[in-house]
Chains A and B, each alone.
Chain A
């Protein structure tokens, strides 16, 4: 058993939206611990800003989200009251001298998606500020990976984001081991040698049986002042029962009044259902024995557990239900930590031989750099950790390190549909359910949790103010709202806010009679003249004979759209699923202003849209 310790000299910081950057940061952290390089691992937002003064080597892995934005865990701490006091908000202070970071050597890895105009914008912003403006030294030029393409590289550097990551890792490890081939232990200088890979690195703080009895079985959450408790007011399906998709109008009352505006979001803290928890306990019988015994931490509550508050009473059952994401798809870092726990031969039909087979397979998932087998086995069919444990009965997990190797449940973000500051927060939520090659239907953890809620149930939430609409600038301007499907969610709030003079709402879905969301409300607003409603239904020839998609209506109304956008300085807000829709809408808009405007070519039209973006008149929220 080796113990992993922390130090401020080396810091691995990540900004992650979907979890890739986080996973890579964990892999890098794991590798550094193996080489006895003590360090700090943290999201950018949860990093203590003052620690930068003690930092000498800084490794930043960050993705870009939305329209060239930094991921949430760069700009907002996961817990506590002063959530905007982050290293990034500190580094943006104007009064810092240009040598402020000259004591730091830094290396960047950006994860991006080149289908977005502001590809890898986040890492470029960080780089510009930290290196060019504040004088940090770069160990090597920053690396940028493109998530769009998982294979192939025209520069021969690799095949996908993981290849770029491993290049990054290679350079860092080479630099560190060459610079510091020795380490000191109790004053003795030792050769720096890698810890054997089947030795588990004990985290700084882990679980042990508690000394006090559980006083109350009431479930509570402690340690995060910013989390709120809401009460469910309404949870109603708004698509037809026979429609393939279940979309909910979900309303909860706030714990106390809090300001929010259109395009703001709330995060909701989901939990696992009891079935999953019980199944896990069945698969790990040693856990089941003490599942309801009181536990405590050997050295304090790890920071990552504070987001949303740590569950009380602290038992394995509660941790599995409220904190451990056992229904998530395991990542490389999970296999890196647990493969060596495949030691139990007693549940294997084929005995020792099968044990070796399972160990090898798990080891392969943990270490293969192309991640192909892991992808085929886990990502592609969306296989959960629970299902992996069912397939690999040799895995005998020690519960005391549970929070070190099991991923944690993260809050999910939803656009607000209710009007600004309404104490009853309304959300429009599409329930996630789909098939893969696995026999079991796949379900989204959070939306599955939400479907189970009934009136007066309690939820944990936080509000995120995004300030998307700078009110003074746009008040009284016309608005073009483009929102196929559940993209309608924030539009409902925009319409209710009365910010705009006249609103054109473009809504599309599959069938007029099964998934025309908020039909009555929208049609009545249309009649009152509050909005001009334009609809289309992609699979409903009867009710939408000529128009399939929102961009088709935009094109049909090209002249009006042009007039609104160019002559009347309208604000355009585009919302819905990412992928083809936002791209095609944009292309359509370019064609429109080319045809009806005096724009000679694509480039001129493009630059007009960019100007709109600069003026906060072209807003996009896609997921």
Chain B
């Protein structure tokens, strides 16, 4: 996911009159981490004077001044652009007017968020046409062509087939799931429910009969013995490390625990040597009194975070020289 993605901007001759629309497309691309490698007038491709490299682009944006339901686009170029896109590459700028071409050229139409685009799918061998045709009928009903935002995703079946192939999932995550989050920074509430919600929300509806145990999978059966043995990526086991971290494991056998206990004993002895008092006493520690020892660091008063490891005052709160340390205020003693 580290490498930048390559993009291409294709321009309708009419769009040259409005340079800002082209700039916009470039910015859009950049905001999704795509670096635009080239831009061409669409007629250059149409007349064959520019040839596109196969399987090369992550994203192609078509900029046209035409309204989305009035676009006129040479159908044969859809295949050409399709070939130039990588799997899961995106094509922006066309509309549902050409969805049959999209289908034929193995695009999936994504309506996630306010991003309408076509996504180039890997070739599906099993009956590539049969499934979408069923959807086709549905989507040709009047009124659905331009108000696509809330409708069910077309060709959904095809994606379903994909996602059941678990092996493909890792590679896919750079694909369709990467909708722009940016828009949500503006106003989350306004976006409403987007595509997956519509088809999936039915599972949240309360069914008449109460949920019985049989309606749920058995949690204990999810992970089986063999999987428990499977090594995981970041198993961390005990061993001497190069880092600063020194802390005994719960079942320490390497001696660290003993070292810690010795340290604690050492601190206690130091404490007793210098400031001897019973735990129930309020005690005055006065630096002006001769014979009171202080640590070498000069940080005795500052608290444990600053004291040296041999400081006799370790374990006491920070205090002001010559003032009482009120130990009782911290709670009761034994």
Interface of A with B (CB < 8 Å)?
Answer: 7-10, 36-38, 49-50, 53-54, 56-57, 68, 70, 89-90, 92-100, 102-105, 113-115, 117-121, 124-125, 128-129, 131-133, 135, 137-139, 141-155, 157-161, 163-164, 167, 174-176, 178-187, 189, 273, 275-276, 279, 282, 349, 354, 357, 361, 370-373, 375, 377, 380-381, 383, 386-387, 390-393, 433, 436-441, 443, 579-580, 610
Contacts and interface: CB of A to CB of B under 8 A. Distances in A.
A150 B232 contact: no
B227 A124 contact: yes
Contacts of A151: 238-241, 243, 245-247, 249, 256
Interface stretch (B68-76, B79-87, B118-126, B161-169): B161-169
Contacts of A160: 236, 245, 247
Nearest to B309: A376
Contacts of B177: 56, 103-105, 137
A433 B170 CA distance: 50
A95 B334 contact: no
B13 interface: no
10 contacts: A7-B184, A103-B195, A113-B250, A135-B169, A159-B245, A178-B33, A273-B331, A282-B329, A377-B305, A440-B331
Interface in B23-40: 27, 30-33
B182 A184 contact: yes
Contacts of A390: 303, 317-318, 330
Which secondary structure dominates chain B's binding surface? loop
Given A99-B160, A153-B236, A441 B181 contact: no
Interface residue range, chain B: 35 or more
A90 B183 CA distance: 29
B315 A438 contact: yes
Contacts of B314: 437
Nearest to A189: B31
A610 B220 CA distance: 13
B152 interface: no
Contacts of A147: 250
Nearest to A377: B305
A187 B330 contact: no
Contacts of A433: 334
Contacts of A114: 235, 237
A104 B178 CA distance: 10
A391 B304 contact: yes
Interface string B90-127: 00000000000000000000001000000000000000
Nearest to B304: A377
Nearest to A50: B204
A53 B215 contact: no
B330 A386 contact: yes
Given A279-B329, A381-B315, A387-B317, A153 B232 contact: no
B289 interface: no
Nearest to B27: A189
A211 B211 CA distance: 46
B142 interface: no
Contact of B249 (A53, A149, A182, A580): A149
Contact of B188 (A7, A100, A143): A7
A143 B240 contact: no
B181 A102 contact: no
Interface string B180-202: 11111110100001111100110
